[in-house]
Structure 1
């Protein structure tokens, strides 16, 4: 089991962002041309195996070239942008969220950053972040005398 430092302010900031976005959506009128959905935040799952951390980020509508993944000082950062269509159309309603996003997660120091694998397919980003040897659980044999 790995422990990470809990940052209540980061969690509170994310909750306030979500509340702010949902409030703007619910208060907007359907004919309000000035309403903008604003930035959106993709959902992320992080799982752990004996050998690696597995990160899955749902990024529907985001092109591969608009996604950037970085690990620096034990922090995984996923950045990107979901761009609007640029065709000249008369829009009657916009409910899809567009804009930039940044998600950051603290990782244990004991990872192999140079061996991280990233795969992007059908709007899903999968990262495999291998653990270094000192982070893997070690089985200790107990001898009975």
Structure 2
């Protein structure tokens, strides 16, 4: 597991990446993150994966974990491969969530090889300001 400093929305966060040690692991799972007024939105490229091959979880310590497994295609033992670039194997991406993420309001959907995870935001309370009378 490697710790890679990452900068999202002007705030410093830690992006935690874990990948299978297997040589067949696909590590090119790109994830974009944006913040809207209502939510934090993560978009992950997961081409050729079906939704039942993916797992989206949130750990206790505000860590979003996206993992999956791309299986090898069945091959005919009589075939001779000359060039192979499409990878297979397991992947896992872990991203620390901001303090205002509602851990119990998470939605995930998939369309055209893109997984979208939306996590609602809590309204951050502004500190109350009280005026003090000036005597004298």
Relative to the length of structure 1, the TM-score reads 0.67
Which structure has more helix as a fraction of its residues? 1
| CA offset digits 1:114-133 (Å, max 9, x no partner) | 21111011211001111112
Which structure has more strand as a fraction of its residues? 2
Across the aligned residues of Structure 1 and Structure 2, the Cα RMSD in angstroms comes to: 2.7
Q: Secondary structure of 1:65's match? A: helix
* Structure-2 separation of matches of 1:6 and 1:95: 30
How far residue 6 of structure 1 moved from its aligned partner, in angstroms, is 4.3
Contact 1:39/1:101 (<8 A) preserved: yes
Q: Give the aligned length.
A: 113
2:120 aligned residue (120, 130, 139): 130
Q: Does 1:39 align with 2:39?
A: no
* Structure-1 separation of matches of 2:80 and 2:115: 30
Report the counterpart of residue 55 of structure 1 in structure 2: 42
Report the counterpart of residue 77 of structure 1 in structure 2: 65
| CA offset digits 1:18-63 (Å, max 9, x no partner) | xxxxxxxxxxxxxxxxxx9521120000001121111000000111
* Structure-2 separation of matches of 1:91 and 1:64: 31
How far residue 70 of structure 1 moved from its aligned partner, in angstroms, is 0.5
User: Unpaired runs of 5+ in structure 2?
Assistant: 1-8, 127-136
Could you list the runs of 4 or more consecutive aligned residues of structure 1 that deviate by over 6 angstroms after TM superposition?
none
User: Unpaired runs of 5+ in structure 1?
Assistant: 18-35, 139-145
Relative to the length of structure 2, the TM-score reads 0.71
